[in-house]
């Protein structure tokens, strides 16, 4: 699907994406974007996954896990249930 087709057939293309199909958009034969449907339930996860602070926190957690700095689930849950410590 090129940019011209996207412009000329927007409604049809949006319907295809809404129906679960991935629509690859190209410009001069090179991919520049992917259009896909998004449900209301997916919106929060999508926005959160692209939030800079969230991404940074995930990257930090992955580095810590690779370095062996992990906490057993039981302990993490206990700390979470206890609330913030002062």
Q: How far apart are CA 75 and CA 21, in angstroms?
A: 42
Q: Which of 21, 36, 27 is nearest to 7 (CA)?
A: 27
- Angstrom distances, CA of residue 46 to CA of 11, 24, 51, 65: 23, 19, 9, 24
pLDDT in tens, 10-41: 999 999 999 989 999 999 999 999 999 999 88
Local confidence band at 2 (pLDDT 50, 70, 90 cut-offs): confident
């Amino acid at each position: 699907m090129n940019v011209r087709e996207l412009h000329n057939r927007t409604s049809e293309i949006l319907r295809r994406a809404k129906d679960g199909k991935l629509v690859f958009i190209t410009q001069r034969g090179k991919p520049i974007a992917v259009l896909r449907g998004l449900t209301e339930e997916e919106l929060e996860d999508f926005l959160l996954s692209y939030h800079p602070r969230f991404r940074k926190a995930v990257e930090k957690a992955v580095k810590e896990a690779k370095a062996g700095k992990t906490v057993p689930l039981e302990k993490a849950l206990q700390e979470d249930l206890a609330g913030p410590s002062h």
